[in-house]
Amino acid sequence: MIRRGRFARWNEKEYEISSRNKQIYLSTTDSSELQNGFTQMGGPTASLLRAVDVNELDDAYEIVPYAILDGHRFAIEGIDPQTSMVKLVTNNAFTLKKLKVHPYGSDEYMIELPLHSITVEEDRIPILGFENRFV
């Protein structure tokens, strides 16, 4: 599974988060969370949301996935769910000498590989004031 986006830890669990009008919302599809103050939004397959104050969170961070190929870092641009092919992108021109990359946008290079053939890593960047907290 490739994770990307904003996440928070609350009550010893990890949730995706969103915000609207300076309000933070935890998001889940786990119906057992209804007992923890989550509210179903939309239809039966919709997400469950719970408003929280940033002070209630144990941690908050943005996850940015990437992969390393032959010593070069590639951003994970996307995955085709039908074929499980992952689009990897870099702006490192030296990859042309080692890998079969193709021009992609302005000064970028792209390669598509099966998900099973790469190792997905994650950068975890603190957000919402957690940048200044010490573990």
Average pLDDT of the segment spanning 32-52:
88
- pLDDT of 135 above 60: no
Average pLDDT over residues 2-25: 95
According to DSSP, residue 2 is labeled -
Structure-block tokens of residue 30: 């786990």
pLDDT recorded at residue 132: 79
Q: Please report the beta strands in the chain, taking only residues with DSSP state E, as ranges in sequence order.
A: 5-10, 13-20, 23-28, 39-40, 48-52, 59-69, 72-80, 85-90, 102-103, 109-114, 120-126
Average pLDDT over residues 63-67: 97
Note the pTM of the prediction, 2 decimals: 0.84
- The whole-number pLDDT of residue 80 equals 94
Exposure pattern of 82-96 as b/e (b: 16+ CB <10 Å)?
eeeebbbbbebeebe
Q: Is the pLDDT of residue 14 over 70?
A: yes
pLDDT of residue 126: 96
Report yes or no: 65 and 115 within 8 Å, Cβ to Cβ.
Answer: no
